[in-house]
Amino acid sequence: MKHLLRNILIAAALPLLSLGAWAQAAVEQPAAAVSETAAAESADKAAVKAEGIWIDVRTAEEFAQGHLEDAVNIPVDQIAQAIEALSPDKDAPLHVYCRVGRRAEMARQLLLEKGYTNVTNHGGYEELVEKGLR
Protein backbone atom coordinates (compact mmCIF):
# COMPACT_ATOMS: atom_id res chain seq x y z
CA MET A 1 0.00 0.00 0.00
CA LYS A 2 2.89 2.35 0.82
CA HIS A 3 4.40 1.73 -2.61
CA LEU A 4 1.11 2.38 -4.35
CA LEU A 5 0.60 5.66 -2.50
CA ARG A 6 4.21 6.68 -3.22
CA ASN A 7 3.82 5.88 -6.93
CA ILE A 8 0.60 7.89 -7.12
CA LEU A 9 2.27 10.88 -5.43
CA ILE A 10 5.26 10.67 -7.78
CA ALA A 11 2.97 10.42 -10.80
CA ALA A 12 1.05 13.48 -9.59
CA ALA A 13 4.21 15.46 -8.77
CA LEU A 14 6.02 15.00 -12.10
CA PRO A 15 3.68 17.23 -14.14
CA LEU A 16 3.83 19.87 -11.41
CA LEU A 17 7.64 19.80 -11.39
CA SER A 18 7.84 20.23 -15.14
CA LEU A 19 5.32 23.07 -14.97
CA GLY A 20 7.42 24.67 -12.22
CA ALA A 21 10.57 24.38 -14.35
CA TRP A 22 8.77 25.95 -17.31
CA ALA A 23 7.50 28.81 -15.12
CA GLN A 24 11.00 29.38 -13.69
CA ALA A 25 12.45 29.58 -17.21
CA ALA A 26 9.81 32.14 -18.13
CA VAL A 27 10.73 34.24 -15.09
CA GLU A 28 14.47 34.05 -15.83
CA GLN A 29 13.94 35.15 -19.43
CA PRO A 30 11.51 38.10 -19.31
CA ALA A 31 9.77 39.12 -22.48
CA ALA A 32 11.28 42.09 -24.29
CA ALA A 33 9.53 45.40 -23.93
CA VAL A 34 7.18 46.26 -26.76
CA SER A 35 9.32 49.20 -27.83
CA GLU A 36 12.46 47.03 -27.98
CA THR A 37 10.64 44.44 -30.05
CA ALA A 38 9.33 47.12 -32.37
CA ALA A 39 12.82 48.53 -32.69
CA ALA A 40 14.26 45.14 -33.58
CA GLU A 41 11.54 44.42 -36.11
CA SER A 42 11.95 47.86 -37.64
CA ALA A 43 15.71 47.41 -37.81
CA ASP A 44 15.24 44.05 -39.56
CA LYS A 45 13.15 45.74 -42.23
CA ALA A 46 15.59 48.64 -42.45
CA ALA A 47 17.76 47.15 -45.21
CA VAL A 48 15.52 49.18 -47.51
CA LYS A 49 15.49 52.64 -46.01
CA ALA A 50 11.94 53.67 -45.25
CA GLU A 51 10.52 56.90 -46.63
CA GLY A 52 10.27 59.81 -44.24
CA ILE A 53 12.50 61.91 -42.05
CA TRP A 54 15.41 60.10 -40.39
CA ILE A 55 16.46 61.68 -37.11
CA ASP A 56 19.68 60.80 -35.31
CA VAL A 57 19.09 61.70 -31.66
CA ARG A 58 22.71 61.22 -30.55
CA THR A 59 24.97 64.13 -29.59
CA ALA A 60 26.57 66.31 -32.27
CA GLU A 61 29.91 64.65 -31.50
CA GLU A 62 28.49 61.16 -32.06
CA PHE A 63 26.74 62.32 -35.23
CA ALA A 64 30.03 63.73 -36.57
CA GLN A 65 31.65 60.30 -36.14
CA GLY A 66 29.15 58.76 -38.55
CA HIS A 67 25.45 58.84 -39.40
CA LEU A 68 22.96 57.66 -41.98
CA GLU A 69 22.92 59.55 -45.24
CA ASP A 70 20.29 62.33 -45.20
CA ALA A 71 19.72 61.95 -41.45
CA VAL A 72 19.09 65.08 -39.41
CA ASN A 73 20.81 65.44 -36.06
CA ILE A 74 18.54 66.53 -33.22
CA PRO A 75 19.83 65.40 -29.82
CA VAL A 76 17.11 63.81 -27.72
CA ASP A 77 17.16 66.66 -25.21
CA GLN A 78 16.29 69.13 -28.01
CA ILE A 79 13.78 67.14 -30.04
CA ALA A 80 10.62 68.43 -28.35
CA GLN A 81 11.56 72.01 -29.22
CA ALA A 82 12.98 71.41 -32.71
CA ILE A 83 10.55 68.94 -34.26
CA GLU A 84 7.81 71.32 -35.34
CA ALA A 85 10.23 73.31 -37.49
CA LEU A 86 11.44 70.10 -39.12
CA SER A 87 8.04 68.44 -39.56
CA PRO A 88 4.86 70.42 -39.04
CA ASP A 89 2.90 67.41 -40.41
CA LYS A 90 2.20 65.26 -37.36
CA ASP A 91 1.31 62.26 -39.56
CA ALA A 92 4.59 62.30 -41.51
CA PRO A 93 6.78 59.22 -41.04
CA LEU A 94 9.57 59.93 -38.58
CA HIS A 95 12.40 57.44 -38.05
CA VAL A 96 14.58 57.86 -34.97
CA TYR A 97 17.79 56.11 -34.03
CA CYS A 98 20.71 56.61 -31.65
CA ARG A 99 23.62 54.44 -30.49
CA VAL A 100 21.68 51.47 -29.10
CA GLY A 101 18.01 52.49 -29.12
CA ARG A 102 17.35 53.90 -25.64
CA ARG A 103 17.58 57.57 -26.54
CA ALA A 104 15.63 56.86 -29.71
CA GLU A 105 12.86 55.36 -27.58
CA MET A 106 12.87 58.45 -25.35
CA ALA A 107 12.60 60.60 -28.48
CA ARG A 108 9.80 58.42 -29.86
CA GLN A 109 7.84 58.83 -26.62
CA LEU A 110 8.36 62.62 -26.63
CA LEU A 111 7.20 62.83 -30.24
CA LEU A 112 4.11 60.75 -29.52
CA GLU A 113 3.32 63.04 -26.57
CA LYS A 114 3.58 66.02 -28.94
CA GLY A 115 0.96 64.41 -31.19
CA TYR A 116 3.14 62.80 -33.86
CA THR A 117 1.48 59.58 -34.97
CA ASN A 118 3.96 57.82 -37.25
CA VAL A 119 7.20 57.49 -35.27
CA THR A 120 9.47 54.45 -35.42
CA ASN A 121 12.43 53.65 -33.18
CA HIS A 122 15.01 51.92 -35.39
CA GLY A 123 17.44 51.21 -32.56
CA GLY A 124 21.18 51.74 -32.92
CA TYR A 125 23.27 53.25 -35.70
CA GLU A 126 25.83 50.43 -35.89
CA GLU A 127 23.08 47.83 -36.14
CA LEU A 128 21.42 49.75 -38.97
CA VAL A 129 24.72 49.96 -40.84
CA GLU A 130 25.27 46.21 -40.34
CA LYS A 131 21.86 45.62 -41.91
CA GLY A 132 22.86 47.60 -44.98
CA LEU A 133 21.54 51.08 -44.37
CA ARG A 134 23.76 53.97 -45.37
Domain spans, the chain? 53-131
Catalytic, out of 43, 74, 83, 98: 98
Query: Computed over its alpha carbons, how large is the radius of gyration of the chain?
Result: 23
Overall average pLDDT of the 101-128 stretch: 98
For residue 58, indicate whether it is catalytic: no
Closest CA to 42 of 133, 103, 117: 133
pLDDT at 42: 53
Overall average pLDDT of the 105-128 stretch: 98
pLDDT above 80 for 1: no
CATH topology of domain 53-131: Oxidized Rhodanese; domain 1 (3.40.250)
